[in-house]
Amino acid sequence: MTPRAGTTPAILLVIAGLACQEVGASLAVLLFPEVGPLGMVMLRLVFSAVLLLAIARPSMRGHSRDAWLAVAGFGVVLAAMNGLFYLALERLPLGVTVTIEVLGPLVLSIVASRRASAWLWALLALVGVVALGGGGWDDLDALGVLFALGAATSWAFYILASARVGRAFPKLDGLALAMTAGALLSLPFGIADAGASLLRVDILAIGAAVALLSSTIPYAFELIALRRLPAAAFAILMSLAPATAALAGFVFLDQTLGWLELVGIGLVITASIGAVRSSGRAAREAAEPLA
């Protein structure tokens, strides 16, 4: 079987998006003392929406009711996913937060697989999550873990919503409109959290940089890649997020992880890749009788 046209560039787009996202997350953590996590979410979404609207200049005409509902749903998912992620990041290391968050796509892959072997990958992921506690979950903030699990659920919905919007709107139009909806939803929470800090030019400049790195570039790259990559291949690449997050946390935030936590991250990545491959085999087997 020959590779699908555009597969290699699409893979590079996903990897570049992951790197940008974790660098942006590290920069956002440094801004938490000034604007708070929800203020950071608002800055990220507002600047991302402005940039995407300027780039895409989406048409407001010619779209069906279902297409607009898809955009609205995607906007809600974007606001929820980013808000829960930053609330978790305020309480947990970056690598641990992203490892818990990636459980959302993992569960999605297991459900899609419908194979008994997929549950072995689920068990491996569970062992990895337990290891994240470094031998003692008392060291992890319970509320932070709950926020990260909420972000994991939102990430699963993000994958589904992003693909749906990508099919309904050309180029980056759907993403720009959805980001605008998410930004509007985040405004009251962000203003309340950040307060007068929003009047500082340096804060706004850093917020714009975080938006570019964490939202605009990664989401645009992922939306383009989803048009060229099979969903399973995309999910495998996204499974590498915990590793890139742990590296970014170490380099930019001086967040060191113990060997048990590193083992846990490795197990979750392995389980994610295994579950996605299992799901892909199940899809191919289901299609064979129809060939």
Digit-coded pLDDT (tens) for 252-276: 888 887 888 888 888 888 887 777 6
| pLDDT for residue 290 | 45
Within the chain, what is the greatest distance between any pair of CA atoms? Answer: 63
Q: Which residue has tokens 């959805």?
A: 178
Q: Over 90: is that where the pLDDT of 288 sits?
A: no
| pLDDT for residue 2 | 43
- E strands, 47-127, in order: none
Q: Answer with the residue of higher pLDDT: 199 or 231.
A: 199
**In whole angstroms, what is the distance from residue 79 CA to residue 117 CA?**
34
**In whole angstroms, what is the distance from residue 211 CA to residue 54 CA?**
14
Residues 6+ apart with CB under 8 A from 113: 275, 278, 279, 282
Residues 6+ apart with CB under 8 A from 28: 40, 44, 86, 89, 210, 214
Quote the tokens at residue 173: 């139009």
| pLDDT for residue 1 | 39
**In whole angstroms, what is the distance from residue 202 CA to residue 30 CA?**
13
Q: Are 94 and 245 in contact (CB under 8 A)?
A: yes
Chain-centre distance for alpha carbon 95? 13
Q: Are 264 and 128 in contact (CB under 8 A)?
A: yes
SS3 40: helix
Q: Which residue has tokens 């909806």?
A: 181
**In whole angstroms, what is the distance from residue 154 CA to residue 80 CA?**
7
Q: Over 70: is that where the pLDDT of 114 sits?
A: no
Residue among 235, 226, 246, 218 at smallest CA distance from 271 = 235
| pLDDT for residue 116 | 67
- pLDDT band at 282, cuts 50/70/90? low
| pLDDT for residue 250 | 87
The mean pLDDT of 207-229, rounded to a whole number, is 83
Q: Report the percentage of the chain scoring pLDDT > 70.
A: 86
- pLDDT band at 134, cuts 50/70/90? low
| pLDDT for residue 148 | 94
Q: Over 80: is that where the pLDDT of 278 sits?
A: no
Q: Which range, of 59-73, 103-117, 185-199, averages the lowest pLDDT?
A: 103-117
**pLDDT digit string (tens) for 18-48?**
889 889 999 999 999 999 999 999 999 999 8
Residue among 149, 163, 32, 172 at smallest CA distance from 102 = 149
- pLDDT band at 291, cuts 50/70/90? very low
The rounded mean pLDDT for the chain is 83
Class of residue 142 by CB neighbours under 10 A (exposed 0-12, middle 13-18, buried 19+): exposed
The mean pLDDT of 15-19, rounded to a whole number, is 88
**In whole angstroms, what is the distance from residue 198 CA to residue 208 CA?**
12
Q: Which range, of 97-111, 121-135, 147-161, 174-188, averages the lowest pLDDT?
A: 121-135
**In whole angstroms, what is the distance from residue 48 CA to residue 133 CA?**
34
- Check residue 36 and give left, alpha or beta (phi > 0: left; psi -120 to 50: alpha): left
- pLDDT band at 3, cuts 50/70/90? very low
